[in-house]
Amino acid sequence: MKIIISNSSDSPIYEQISYQIKMNILNGVLKEGDSLPSIRTLAKDLKVSVITTKRAYEDLQKDGFISTVSGKGTFVSSTNKEKLKEQNFKIIEQKLIECIDFAKSSGITLKEFKEIVDIIFKED
């Protein structure tokens, strides 16, 4: 699992870490039962504070993506497929809002926008 931290991002580092781990889970890169690095190991690898990685792991655990077993480590949780689907919907909605705002500011009509989406969606 590779995590890339951007110091120029508007998102706090803990959110970047949490988001990237979540995406790896949603995309199947990390599977149920896979072990994650310890908070200290991840902090050392990313050259960030232990508090930062702890916060990222806490958010992931709160959302049900990971679980920590005392003395054994942190693992990808068994997640409900509906929950995963809902998470994907949220991500898609956020990205679509950005695209629609950009399209509107560029003078693209709804009809043109739908055509673009149809073409891209149907591509193999």
Taking only the tens place, the pLDDT of each residue in 32-44 is 899 999 999 999 9
Task: Give the confidence band of 74 by pLDDT, cuts at 50, 70, 90.
Answer: very high
**116 within domain boundaries:** yes
Are 70 and 91 part of one and the same domain? Answer: no
Assigned domain for 58 exists: yes
Are residues 68 and 103 located together in one domain of the fold? no
**Interval 47-76 mean pLDDT:** 94
Residue 41 and residue 59 in one domain:
yes
pLDDT score, position 80: 60
Domain annotation covers residue 3: no
Does residue 65 sit in the same domain as residue 112? no
Tally of domains in the chain? 2
Whether the pLDDT of residue 105 is over 70: the answer is yes
Distance separating alpha carbons of residues 108 and 20, to the nearest angstrom: 31
Residues 51 and 89 in one domain: no
CATH of the domain at 26: 1.10.10.10
Q: What pTM was computed for the model?
A: 0.69
| Average pLDDT, rounded, for the chain | 91
Does residue 71 sit in the same domain as residue 97?
Answer: no
State the distance between the two ends of the chain, measured CA to CA, in whole angstroms: 27
Residue 63, domain extent: 13-76
CB atoms within 10 A of CB 50: 14
Whether residue 105 is found in the same domain as residue 71: no
Residue 1: inside a domain: no
- Tell me the DSSP string of 60-104: HHHTTSEEEETTTEEEEPP--HHHHHHHHHHHHHHHHHHHHHHHH
